[in-house]
Chain A
């Protein structure tokens, strides 16, 4: 399978704990995006990487959130001191190559904070 993969698919954590999610983009894509989706809403942009550089961050990305893409391949999204409001689906997308404008999404990580 050469699509975007995310791990884990589901995460249940207690309030105050830290969680980390991983995204592996399509191999030839140099751009990687993180979005968050809550029930009944469309995905909302969090942050974007071109290669290893984080080029844009949404104001939704509070200082408890940090994202990295150290080698320009996979990316991690960490949430520190989780709050119940962090419960959502976290989606990763990648783009690049000839169809540079088309963003392809992974299956998402469903986070539940109890």
Chain B
């Protein structure tokens, strides 16, 4: 089945630093989404990408849909303590009713 790979499992950065995460797949996707999850809560949608090569920003977050449709990148600039959490990429193949396939997530820690 389709699998999404996110690595490393954990990242540790200093407050104010930029951080980049990537997500790769063995299969192509038509839509990529990035979510953030806090402990004990559901994932919160950060950015959605719909077209190969698309670059989209949401505040300090920037994400790109890879040209091959098999990868995506999320960048967080000028990190702050509330950026701490688990970041998941999710891919969707097919129409708007399609299920999401998630990676295992990257746990981000921000040192003040």
- Residues of chain A at the chain B interface (Cβ within 8 Å): 4, 6, 31, 33, 35, 40-45, 48, 50, 55-56, 58, 91, 93, 95, 99-108, 110
Q: Which residues of B contact A48 (CB under 8 A)?
A: 97, 99
Q: Would you call B50 an interface residue if the criterion is a C-beta within 8 Å of the partner chain's C-beta atoms?
A: yes
Q: How far is the CA of A43 from the CA of B44 in the complex (A)?
A: 12
| B67 CB within 8 Å of chain A | no
Contacts of B104 in A (CB 8 A): 40-42
CB distance from B73 to the nearest CB of A (A): 17
Which residues of the partner chain B approach A105 to less than 8 Å between Cβ atoms? 35, 42-45
Query: Who on chain A is nearest to B99 by CB?
Result: A45
A34 to chain B, nearest CB (A): 10
Q: B96, A100: Cβ atoms under 8 Å? A: yes
What's the least CB distance linking B82 to chain A, in Å? 18
- Write the nearest CB–CB distance from A70 to chain B, whole angstroms: 19
Residue of A nearest to B40 (CB): A110
Rounded to whole angstroms, the CA-CA distance of A44 and B43 in the bound complex is: 12
Task: Name A42's contact: one of B50, B97, B99, B103 (CB within 8 Å).
Answer: B103
Nearest Cβ in chain B — how far from A105, in angstroms? Answer: 4
| Smallest CB gap from B100: residue in A | A103
Q: Is B33 at the interface (CB under 8 A from chain A)?
A: yes
**A70 CA / B88 CA spacing, docked (Å):** 31
Instruction: Flag if B92 contacts A101 (CB, 8 Å).
Output: yes
A-contact bits for B43-56, CB 8 A (1 contact / 0 none): 11100101000000
Chain B residues near A43: list those with CB within 8 A: 43, 88, 100, 102
Say yes or no: A104 contacts B45, CB within 8 Å.
yes
Docked pose: A50 CA to B78 CA in angstroms? 40
- Tell me, rounded to whole Å, the shortest Cβ–Cβ distance linking B41 to chain A: 5
